């Protein structure tokens, strides 16, 4: 049996997760420590109920999502119903990566991760740009 060349195989969920975890570890302190407390979920596509709640017709239109209460809005009296979670959706990320054709996959995954954590931290566009130059 002949195996396909490694660069002809679509990046796996595990690879996307590894790239996302590396992006979290590259965050400056004190953000890194706080980001490590957020669950990271990698799926091929967003669940149908998530897409419906956001009124998104195509599952390819959502590359990532922050689900939780931003730190800027949390109170010590809040009782968490579920852990804060950053979701990444592999197939839409790969579709955007292919369509762009001019960026490395690691850069796109990092950009999506930072964008979603920006919701968690309540970052402004300036805050995001200081961490993710692609945002500028």
- pLDDT in 10s for each residue of the chain, 136 residues: 555 555 557 899 999 999 999 999 999 889 999 999 999 999 999 999 999 999 999 999 999 999 988 888 777 776 767 889 999 999 999 999 999 989 999 999 999 999 999 988 888 888 888 877 775 5
| 50 within domain boundaries | yes
Give residues with Cβ within 8 angstroms of 60, minimum separation 6: 91, 92, 95
CA distance linking residue 5 with residue 66, whole number of Å: 35
| 3 within domain boundaries | no
The angle formed by the CA atoms of residues 6, 9 and 13, to the nearest 5 degrees, is 110
Tokens encoding 69: 């209460």
| 73 within domain boundaries | no
Domain, as residue range, for 99: 11-68+83-135
| 89 within domain boundaries | yes
CA distance linking residue 46 with residue 92, whole number of Å: 9
CATH of the domain at 36: 3.30.2010.20
Number of domains in the chain: 1
| 74 within domain boundaries | no
């Amino acid at each position: 049996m002949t195996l396909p060349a490694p660069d002809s195989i679509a990046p796996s969920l595990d690879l996307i997760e590894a790239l996302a975890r590396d992006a979290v570890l590259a965050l400056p302190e004190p953000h890194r420590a706080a980001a490590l407390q957020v669950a990271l979920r990698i799926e091929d596509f967003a669940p149908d109920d998530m897409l419906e709640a956001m009124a998104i017709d195509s599952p390819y239109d959502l590359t990532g999502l922050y689900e939780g209460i931003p730190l800027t809005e949390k109170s010590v009296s809040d009782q968490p119903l579920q852990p804060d979670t950053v979701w990444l959706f592999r197939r839409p990320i790969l579709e955007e990566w292919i369509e762009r054709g001019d960026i490395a996959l690691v850069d796109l995954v990092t950009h999506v991760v930072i964008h979603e954590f920006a919701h968690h931290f309540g970052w402004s566009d300036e805050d995001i740009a200081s961490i993710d130059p692609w945002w500028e």
